[in-house]
Structure 1
Amino acid sequence: MNFKCRVRMVLLLFLVIFFQACSDKSKEKKIDRFDNGTIYISCDESFKPVIDAEIEVYQASYPDAHINVQYKPEADCLRDFGVDSIRMIIATRGFSESERKFMIDSLKVGPVQATVAHDAIAVIIHPEAKDSFFTMDRIRDLVSGNLKENLIPVFDGLKATSTVRFMIDSVLKGKNLGKNVVGAQSSEGVIDYVSKTPNAVGFIGVSWVGNKEDTSQQSFLKRIRLARLESTDSANAFVLPVQYLIYTKSYPMVRDLVYVLREQQYGLGGAFANFLKSDRGQLIFRRAYLQPAKKPFYVRRAELKD
């Protein structure tokens, strides 16, 4: 082999090593950690206020970590089980066995899930509404279109949302919503519609209206008020969706807040999932007046003094 050929071979080998090293460095940059990187998650719009708070606190602790969240109707979130770029899904249910197998076979990733909080569906009415007490039979007749009263049920959409699914599955036992149901574009849209319509009855996640210390929710509560539903465990009692009654399930419309994590190796997604289960993450759920699912929820008797 002459000198020129040897030089070409050396140069070629050098270029191969150089590009391989660049490729390895590029891959290293894509590996995120608990304190840096970017991930995309998909979340049920019902939980926007509390998940915004969770992300805000996490990113304040780790400024180089970026959690980009897309808020959608629940059915769209569940369809994201098949989207490789979505690392976490937050909804009111986890994956089914068939969905788990799909993610393993198609995406080559073993998903994990956990319930991190318990939520309630709040019933909201106009401030001037004459009646703020509802039995579950009356709610059932209202959303099925069989109630003789002139009331308008309003949801955060006509299909695909977790609130609609809960009403169909748990209240109507598989029957369809009535033709009288109105669909708003979002939970905030439900609040806006009810605030302008005296005979409207809205259904939204309690994290939108359950925290009286939150300034935005204070403004919502000036425009609407919460209705009371019949208690599940006390005859002739009507209750609000407050934290203790979510915990005891005395409030009749309670549901879970569940995350599904899909990571091939531990990274920012896993760290954020652990944060949701940690003392700080659970405290945020508690301060949002949801019931934390991973930490003890203590109930103490309070005595009123004269």
Structure 2
Amino acid sequence: MKNGLKGACLALLMGGISGCSGDKPLDSPSRGTITVAVDESFKPLAMQLTDAYSGIYPDTHFELKYRPERESIAMLLKDSARLAFTTRPLTRQEQIAFDQQKIIGKAEKIGTDGVALIVSKNNRDSLITMAELKAVFSGQLTQWQQLKGATETGPITLVFDNNNSSNLDFVLRTFSITDVSKLRIFTTHSNKEVIEYVRKNPTALGFIGVNWISDGDSPLSGELSADMRVLGVSDKDNPTSIKDYYQPFQRNLGLQTYPLRRPVYILSRETHPGLGGGLINYIARDAGSLLIEKLGLWPVKPYNREVYIRK
């Protein structure tokens, strides 16, 4: 009798269902609860995507944990999260940690986001070049009046959401900066706090995830966008026209004209056809792409919409 019960349990497990005493039921694409680690700069994006999915499948639940990118990936490696929203795939060293756990892992690119540069409306400067920005992070330019065409004066304070944030890591990687000890950097606890700090400090230059301010239909985006400017950025050393500068609008992300664009990935450690895979498929291959577009970002696979015109 015991052998028969063992065989029945094995059959159930092979079918992706756990019905034996002591076994934890496996989640599926339409049922279950999983933890998702999210870099805080992607909070609006992750919230809308998971809420939309749970709206379709009411028996699914996502416990979102907002952490800096490095901590989000650490949670994934320690099996404290099933998925992680990040700006990059795993490094070779991180992949080795997965290999030791015999986890294949998956990195799915779902869209293009960007790092937006923001200043207070009391600061009338609205343009900057990549060369100037690199000089700022290299410590060569420290005052607003040193920037070409600047009207603001005083020391430039660089404002980020966290010491381990993806926004900071991305900018440092972009300009190959390894030492920030001499830079005037101020960190808060969230992208929202970066915005609030910048509003009150005209000499502050803030760095936030574009998705915090890019959803034109969101009351929160409208509220956060008030009383601040989003800088136009040029990758030309000597721009000759305002047309050489680009803001992080959806079109500029898609056409790859905005210099500080970056990918959005979902990393997974799922080992069975579960809820994590269901969410990824919804985002990458289904109507989830429409939500990414609505947020003002650029999806990897735009959702095809057929329009019939009657004569």
Give the 3 Å change call, closer, same or farther, for CA 70–297 of structure 1 in structure 2.
same
Partner SS state of residue 121, structure 1? strand
Give the 3 Å change call, closer, same or farther, for CA 290–125 of structure 1 in structure 2.
same
Asked if the contact 1:50/1:288 (under 8 Å) is kept, the reply is yes
Give the 3 Å change call, closer, same or farther, for CA 235–248 of structure 1 in structure 2.
farther
The answer as to 2:139 corresponding to 1:132 is no
Quote the Cα distance in structure 1 between the aligned partners of 2:172 and 2:46: 25
Please state how far the C-alpha of 1:98 moved relative to its aligned partner.
Answer: 3.2
Count, aligned residues: 281
Asked if the contact 2:289/2:303 (under 8 Å) is kept, the reply is no
Partner SS state of residue 69, structure 1? strand
Give the 3 Å change call, closer, same or farther, for CA 30–85 of structure 1 in structure 2.
farther
Partner SS state of residue 295, structure 1? coil
Please state how far the C-alpha of 1:82 moved relative to its aligned partner.
Answer: 2.1
Please state how far the C-alpha of 1:178 moved relative to its aligned partner.
Answer: 4.0
- Superposition TM-score, scaled by structure 2 size: 0.83
Please state how far the C-alpha of 1:26 moved relative to its aligned partner.
Answer: 4.2
| Structure 1 residue runs without a partner (length 5+) | 1-12, 299-306
Aligned to 2:20: 24
Partner SS state of residue 75, structure 1? helix
Give the 3 Å change call, closer, same or farther, for CA 245–17 of structure 1 in structure 2.
closer
Asked if the contact 1:228/1:238 (under 8 Å) is kept, the reply is yes
Please state how far the C-alpha of 1:17 moved relative to its aligned partner.
Answer: 6.6
The answer as to 2:258 corresponding to 1:262 is no
Aligned to 2:157: 152
Quote the Cα distance in structure 2 between the aligned partners of 1:161 and 1:70: 14
Please state how far the C-alpha of 1:279 moved relative to its aligned partner.
Answer: 2.9
Give the 3 Å change call, closer, same or farther, for CA 62–126 of structure 1 in structure 2.
same
Asked if the contact 2:130/2:236 (under 8 Å) is kept, the reply is no
AA partner of residue 294 (structure 1): K
Identical pairs, percent: 27
- Superposition TM-score, scaled by structure 1 size: 0.84
Asked if the contact 2:119/2:229 (under 8 Å) is kept, the reply is yes
Aligned to 1:303: none
Give the 3 Å change call, closer, same or farther, for CA 122–184 of structure 1 in structure 2.
same
Quote the Cα distance in structure 2 between the aligned partners of 1:192 and 1:176: 23
Quote the Cα distance in structure 1 between the aligned partners of 2:83 and 2:193: 26
Aligned to 2:220: 216
Q: 197, 205, 213: which one pairs with 2:201? A: 197
Asked if the contact 2:82/2:270 (under 8 Å) is kept, the reply is yes
| Residues 1-306 of structure 1 mapped to structure 2, 5 A cutoff | 24-27=20-23, 30-106=25-101, 108-147=102-141, 148-149=143-144, 150=154, 151-157=156-162, 159-176=163-180, 178-231=182-235, 236=241, 237-295=244-302
AA partner of residue 72 (structure 1): R
Measured against aligned partners, the alpha-carbon deviations of 1:58-96 in whole angstroms (never above 9, x if no partner) come to 011111100111011011012123212411111001112
AA partner of residue 156 (structure 1): D
Quote the Cα distance in structure 1 between the aligned partners of 2:236 and 2:43: 28
Please state how far the C-alpha of 1:231 moved relative to its aligned partner.
Answer: 4.7
Partner SS state of residue 68, structure 1? strand
AA partner of residue 69 (structure 2): E
| Structure 2 residue runs without a partner (length 5+) | 10-17, 145-153, 306-311
Measured against aligned partners, the alpha-carbon deviations of 1:22-52 in whole angstroms (never above 9, x if no partner) come to 981442x521111111101111111101110
Partner SS state of residue 20, structure 2? helix
Quote the Cα distance in structure 2 between the aligned partners of 1:117 and 1:76: 21
Moved more, 280-289 or 141-150: 141-150
Quote the Cα distance in structure 2 between the aligned partners of 1:88 and 1:35: 16
Higher helix share: 1
Quote the Cα distance in structure 1 between the aligned partners of 2:250 and 2:37: 26
Quote the Cα distance in structure 2 between the aligned partners of 1:178 and 1:285: 38
Please state how far the C-alpha of 1:177 moved relative to its aligned partner.
Answer: 6.1
| Aligned CA-pair RMSD | 2.6
Asked if the contact 1:143/1:178 (under 8 Å) is kept, the reply is no
Asked if the contact 1:155/1:203 (under 8 Å) is kept, the reply is yes
Quote the Cα distance in structure 1 between the aligned partners of 2:304 and 2:200: 37
Partner SS state of residue 24, structure 1? coil
Please state how far the C-alpha of 1:221 moved relative to its aligned partner.
Answer: 1.2
